[in-house]
Amino acid sequence: MKILAIETSCDETSAAVLEGKSDNVRILSNIISSQINIHKKYGGVVPEIAARNHILNIIPVVDEALRKSNYGNKKISVDLIAVTRGPGLMSSLLIGVQTAEMLAYAWKKPLIAVNHIEGHIYANWLNSINVKFPALALVVSGGHTQLVLMRDHLKYKIIGQTRDDAAGEAFDKVAKILNLGYPGGPIIAKMAGKRILACADRVAPKYKLPRPMIDSKDFDFSFSGLKTAVLYMAREKEKYRQIEKDDIKNICAEFQQAVIDVLVYKTIAAAKKYKVKIVLLAGGVAANQELRRQLEEAARNELGDEIIFNVPEQILCTDNAAMVGAAAYYRYLAKPNSAKIPPVKIKVDPNLEI
């Protein structure tokens, strides 16, 4: 079956075409139109501007996804339309949902709505790996930091989550404090480079930051104190002299390592406790090379060979429609009745929980 998927929950307008066959789903096209260049001068996403740009972009993006999947010149033969209905920005979500409703109505095709976080997790199914249950997903994005236990397809149990800022949000806020620009994740990763590994002894303790909640006995996280610690560290340095590029690089490296240490420690502990068969990494922060490398290494060293580690390729970690199509396909397989032919009204929910 062919699936057209649409994702507009934040500042990426994306459409993808996928092919689902028995227990497998693969990408035929995945078009992502990012608005980062528009929003970065404001230091973050401006919801009204995001919605206006989704309106301008959505039809060309859908059109390109269909064309690139080789359906451009033929009669439309999409079997299912998928769309994100939350969580995200209300005005942005509405553009995707209304477009999906309109296309489903015009083509008389069933429509299925998915949770954006579910989409991030299901990006892991696009690698053609054999995901066995129970699975543990570490979801780290701009709005979420959660450890999600899955005992089967579509069965989610949040076993731990952030009590304040999300990991991606912390990256973005620290980049703002250090005047590095938006979005912070890729910029901080670039500034950090391989620094912490190259000169660990030199970096500590001058740039030492806390590892919040690493000793708590639960699987929750907290990143807002880390951001405040960076703020004080930067102010302290500025008091005595101009903060230099080298200081900034060291702070970035230590901040990134502090986030990774807590994420890796808790994920490994949860994987042991729940005796999972696979550890999945998901969400925008999963694009971080050091996090990918260190979590994989820890899983290999501490969980043994039978437990698999998987992370989607980088482009499928940040927001994209292919992940929405993947989640929709497994939702459809499990509950074909949940796909409805319009007229139906999909309820957009900016705070939708998994």
Residues that bind Zn ion in the complex, under the rule CB under 5 A:
141, 319
184 binds ligand KG4 (CB under 6 A): yes
Q: Which amino acid is at 178?
A: L
Structure tokens given for 308: 């698999």
Among 7, 172, 247, 254, binds ligand KG4 (CB under 6 A): 172
221 binds ligand KG4 (CB under 6 A): no
CB of 192 to ligand KG4, least distance (A): 9
DSSP 214-261: TTSSSS-B--HHHHHHHHHHHHHHHHHSPPPHHHHHHHHHHHHHHHHH
Among 189, 271, 316, 327, binds ligand KG4 (CB under 6 A): 189
283 binds ligand KG4 (CB under 6 A): yes
User: Please, are residues 92 and 10 in contact by the beta-carbon 8 Å criterion?
Assistant: yes
> Whose Cβ is closer to ligand KG4: residue 171's or residue 223's?
171
Dist CA 247 CA 251 (whole Å): 6
Q: Which residue has the tokens 């994100």?
A: 84
CB of 143 to Zn ion, least distance (A): 7
CB of 276 to Zn ion, least distance (A): 23
CB of 139 to Zn ion, least distance (A): 9
Q: Which stretch binds ligand KG4 (CB under 6 A): 15-23, 105-113, 239-247, 283-291?
A: 283-291
Structure tokens given for 107: 């083509």
> Whose Cβ is closer to Zn ion: residue 172's or residue 319's?
319
171 binds ligand KG4 (CB under 6 A): yes
Q: Which residue has the tokens 């999947």?
A: 69
Among 284, 312, 325, 342, binds ligand KG4 (CB under 6 A): 284
User: Please, are residues 37 and 116 in contact by the beta-carbon 8 Å criterion?
Assistant: no
Structure tokens given for 140: 């780290």
Q: Which residue has the tokens 């994740």?
A: 185
Among 15, 319, 326, 354, binds ligand KG4 (CB under 6 A): 319
